[in-house]
Amino acid sequence: MICWSCEQEAGAAEKCAACGALQPPDLAADHFTVLGLPRRFDVDAKAAEARFRALSREIHPDRFATADPRARKFSMQRTVQLNEAWKALKDSIRRAEYLLSLDGWEVGAESGASRPGQGGARERLPVPPALLGEVLELREELADARAEGDDARVQKLARDVRQRADEAMANVASGFAAAEAATDRARALEPVAHELIGIRYWRRFLDEVAVHDEAREEAADTPKGSARA
């Protein structure tokens, strides 16, 4: 790459090796590349966060407030790209879904998952009916417990579901590790996609519990009797 500012060889870093000017970003780069991480599920969270901060410090628009308009634009583009990459990779579920998407998978909402099949068609991976049945049952239990104001039962259900979610996440991690070594990667990723479908439902369930908890906390905050009375 030739530097836009000094017209010499800029090198591969964010800033020109010769003059230090901020270089345009590669807008097609994937999130792992943007953060300078290996493309795998297993990410050293601490190191990744340190990397995010270090890059932010280098390229943030505040650092280019008085720079050339082109450098300001590149700083803006790079920072948007960096923030987006960090958002997608710092959360393990988003990271897993993103990794699958790089292999052409889609772990979607209503219809389970899909991946590219033969001749451009998409091969579907439906939501297992057993899982749906289980989720429906748990939901009804949650609704009953909430209607009865039985917080202990809500919390027990939440613990159960949290455990399922944790187990599923552990399976996602081991699934990705197995896929690294597998000869048929597409087949090896199938169980990972299945676990992620499950995790979506567990997540939703736990979000609903969070709404419940918040409502309870909110009720507890309301001062009991006005001091003026």
Partner 1 sequence: MMRRAKKPPTPRKDPPVPEALFQISEPGETREKAPCPPGMTRAIGIDLGTTNSLVASVKDGKPVALLDDEGEAIVPSVVHYAADGSTIVGKAARDQLAPRFPKDTIASAKRFVGRGPSDAEAQRKLTPYQFAPAAAGDPVVRFQVAGGRAVTPVEVSAEILRALRERAEAQLGEPLFGAVITVPAYFDDGQRQATRDAGRIAGLEVLRLLNEPTAAALAYGLDKAAQGTFAVFDLGGGTFDISILALENGVFEVKATGGDSALGGDDFDRAIAGHFLKELALPEDAGGDPALARRVLDAARAAKEALTENAVTSITLAPGNGKETTVSLSRTAMEALVRPVLARCTGPVRRALRDAELTAAQLDGVILVGGATRMPLVRQFVHEQFGREPLSDIDPDQVVALGAAVQADLLTGGTGHGDVVLLDVVPLSLGLEMMGGVVERLIHRNSTIPCGAKQTFTTYADNQTGFDLHVVQGERELVDDCRSLARFKLAGVPPMPAGMARLEVTFLVDADGILRVSAREETTGIESSVSVKPTYGLTDEEVERMLLDSFAHAEDDVQTRQLAEQRVEADRILQAAMAAMAACPELLTDDDRRRIDAATRALEAAKAGTDHGAIRRAVEGLDAASKDFAARRMNRALEQGLRGRTVGAVEAEVEKSEAAGDLASRLERAGHAGHSHR
- Asked if 106 and 114 touch (Cβ cutoff 8 Å), the reply is yes
- Cβ nearer to partner 1, comparing 30 with 208: 208
Question: Quick one: DSSP state of residue 24?
Answer: P
21: contact with partner 1 by CB under 8 A: yes
- Size of the residue set binding partner 1 (CB under 8 A): 59
Q: Which amino acid is at 169?
A: M
Binders of partner 1 among residues 131 to 190 (CB under 8 A) are: 132, 135-136, 139
Q: Which amino acid is at 1?
A: M
CB-neighbour burial class of residue 221 (10 A; exposed 0-12, middle 13-18, buried 19+) = exposed
**Window contacting partner 1 (CB under 8 A); options: 36-44, 71-79, 156-164, 180-188:** 71-79
Angle (CA) 68 72 76, round 5°: 170
**Window contacting partner 1 (CB under 8 A); options: 37-45, 172-180, 185-193, 201-209:** 201-209
CA atoms within 13 A on the CB side of 172: 26
Q: State the residues that interact with partner 1 by CB under 8 A.
A: 5-7, 19-22, 49-50, 53-54, 56-57, 60-68, 71, 76, 79-80, 83-84, 86-87, 109-112, 126-127, 129, 132, 135-136, 139, 201, 203-211, 214, 217-218, 221, 223, 226-228
